[in-house]
């Protein structure tokens, strides 16, 4: 009987251990689920707070932008009519100066091209790129006064850009003393003949 009692007692102890282990496992799972649920709620609350903070920040930025615009508008309204007129006049004068400068540069480039062509420049259109157009001076009527001098100075510095013009007729000398340039074929024939 003692063997049976011992076995029975042992069986009961083992059953108690299994029940206790299952209870601990069930308790740990319940605790884990509770912890996970609390973490999720905490995370959701943090996201809500972050969204509210972003919305508040945007509201503050919008208020600052509006306040700055209102401040500038108030400053503009404070200007008297005379001040607004003076400001507008200054803007128009600045625009006129810019247009005058553009027109002067255009006239200077044209005067330099014409002077370069008269001086025998191989490519007169390139001369304004080599001479600063702001160096051209104008008289009271707006006519350039020193374009020829500037081109002559360039001609002294870079004579290769210019060719010497020889007096003659417009036909290349066919009627006058200088013979017309020969074609390449004529040159080859004359070389073979010699």
Tens digits of pLDDT across the chain (194 residues):
444 444 444 444 444 444 555 555 666 888 888 899 999 998 999 889 989 989 998 999 999 999 999 988 887 777 777 787 888 899 999 999 999 888 888 998 999 999 999 999 889 988 898 888 888 998 888 889 999 999 999 999 998 888 876 655 555 555 555 566 667 777 787 777 76
Rounded to whole angstroms, how far apart are CA atoms 152 and 28?
102
HSE, side-chain direction, 13 A CA sphere, residue 191? 7
Q: What angle do CA 81, 84, 88 make, to 5 degrees?
A: 140
Question: pTM score, two decimals?
Answer: 0.42
Query: Nearest Cα to 109, choosing from 137, 91, 129, 83?
Result: 129
Write down the pLDDT at residue 175.
53
* E strand or H helix that includes residue 39: helix 2-78
Rounded to whole angstroms, how far apart are CA atoms 127 and 88?
39
């Amino acid at each position: 009987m003692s063997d049976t009692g011992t076995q029975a007692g042992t069986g009961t102890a083992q059953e108690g251990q299994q029940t206790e282990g299952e209870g601990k496992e069930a308790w740990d799972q319940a605790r884990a689920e509770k912890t996970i649920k609390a973490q999720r709620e905490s995370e959701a609350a943090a996201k809500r707070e972050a969204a509210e903070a972003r919305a508040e920040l945007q509201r503050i930025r919008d208020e600052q932008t509006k306040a700055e615009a209102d401040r500038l508008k108030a400053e503009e309204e404070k200007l008297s009519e005379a001040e607004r007129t003076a400001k507008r006049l200054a803007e128009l004068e600045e625009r006129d100066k810019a247009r005058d400068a553009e027109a002067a540069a255009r006239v200077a480039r044209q005067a330099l091209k014409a002077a370069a062509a008269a001086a025998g420049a191989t490519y007169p259109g390139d001369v304004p790129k080599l001479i600063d157009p702001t160096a051209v001076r104008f008289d009271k009527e707006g006519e350039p006064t020193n374009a020829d001098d500037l081109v002559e100075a360039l001609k002294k510095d870079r004579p290769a850009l210019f060719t010497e013009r020889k007096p003659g007729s417009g036909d290349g000398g066919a009627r006058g003393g200088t013979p017309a340039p020969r074609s390449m074929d004529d040159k080859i024939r004359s070389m073979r003949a010699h």
